[in-house]
Amino acid sequence: MKIERLAIIGVGLIGGSLARALKARGMVGEIVGCGRGEENLKKAVELGVIDRYTHDVGEAVEGADMIFLAVPLSAMRDTFAAMKGHIAENAVITDGGSAKGSVIEDCTSVFGEVLPNFVPGHPIAGTENSGVEASFAELYNDRRIILTPVYQTDEAAIARVQAMWRYCGAEVTRMLVVDHDRILAATSHLPHMLAFALVDMLSRLGDTEDIFRYAAGGFRDFTRIASSNPAMWRDICIANSDAVSSLVDSYADEMKELASVIRSRDGDRLLALFNNAKQARDRYVDGLNQQAEPLPTE
């Protein structure tokens, strides 16, 4: 089903790439953008990502049959509040927040319930770059979109959001909210914390310039995500604090144990740890990716 009017609140990498993908496939009519940055929104119009824009959330969502919230987690509650009283009867709302429990709490705090037409979602896609100029239509090709509907969520609304993401070339899966926040804390949030912490630690050493000058490819690959938006990751940590802090504690214990093993020069234990890590990655990461089925086309 074609989207007649799409309202994107937050026209950056994620929202802009959604707009580009839907336009490229002819699956959207008008796209209205909304945000605070005048220059970014003007650039979005110039690039053909959106058709028009406004700084007023209520104005942006009026008459839209699909609303996508791509705002920071810390701005989600205020965005819901600004939408209140302006949402069309046929509108479906979804979002791209990286922590779903906090988004559902924000929706409930504003509307007194989780709206039946609100389908919480999380596109597992992105780059370290931000802004509409970083967006591109292929971002979601063969990427996974996780939807976390609750019992109040209308099945017809879920179907419309699923169709929207499949038009973008994505694979859509469902997950419980608690499972999403726990799993994403391990697979996305923790790795970002490790990258940020490592670069921060090295930046405070005495020979910082030499350390970064001679950084090899492995270091650059591992720390690339430390170039991600700091404010966004602050919000994610706060929104998913229980799961993230617990994993950081566990990883800190693992690092202390590893330091002890290295200090004692226990080659057998080091080899066992490295072998276990290699086998786990080969099996659960590379192996699962190779077994992935091709996406259906629509």
> Would you say 117 and 154 are in contact if contact means Cβ atoms under 8 Å apart?
yes
Q: DSSP secondary structure string, 181-198?
A: HHHHIIIIIHHHHHHHHH
CA dist., res. 246 & res. 109, Å (int)? 26
Domain boundary among the residues 123, 156, 175 is at 175
Lowest mean pLDDT among 38-42, 67-71, 135-139, 207-211: 207-211
Q: What is the pLDDT of residues 47-81, one digit of tens each?
A: 999 999 999 999 999 999 999 999 999 999 999 99
Q: What is the chain's mean pLDDT, rounded?
A: 92
Question: Do 29 and 106 sit in the same domain of this protein?
Answer: yes
What's the structural domain count of the chain? 2
CA nearest neighbour of 100 among 176, 10, 155, 153: 176
Statement to judge: residues 11 and 130 lie in one domain: yes
pLDDT by residue (tens digit) across 275-287? 999 999 898 776 6
- Asked whether residue 110 falls in the same domain as residue 225, the answer is no
Q: If DSSP codes are grouped into helix, strand and coil, which group holds residue 101?
A: helix
Within-domain flag for 296: no
Q: In which domain, by residue range, is 120 found?
A: 3-175
pTM for the model: 0.85
Q: Are residues 212 and 240 in the same domain?
A: yes
Q: Which residues lie below 8 Å from residue 141, measured CB to CB, with a gap of 6+?
A: 168, 169, 170
Pair 186, 78 in one domain: no
Contacts of 59 (CB under 8 A, 6+ apart): 34, 86
Cα–Cα distance between 59 and 35 in angstroms, integer?
12
Whether residue 283 sits in one domain with residue 137: no
Judge if 229 and 120 occupy the same domain.
Answer: no
Per the domain annotation, does 19 fall within a domain? yes
Q: Are 161 and 185 contained in the same domain?
A: no
Q: Is residue 62 within 8 Å of residue 86, measured between CB atoms?
A: yes
Domain of 280, CATH number, reads: 1.10.3660.10
Q: What percent of the chain has pLDDT over 90?
A: 81
d(CA 106, CA 100): 10
Rounded mean pLDDT of 215-236? 87
Q: In the beta sheet, which residues pair with residue 7? A: 32, 67
Instruction: Looking at the structure, tell me whether residues 234 and 154 fall in a common domain.
Output: no
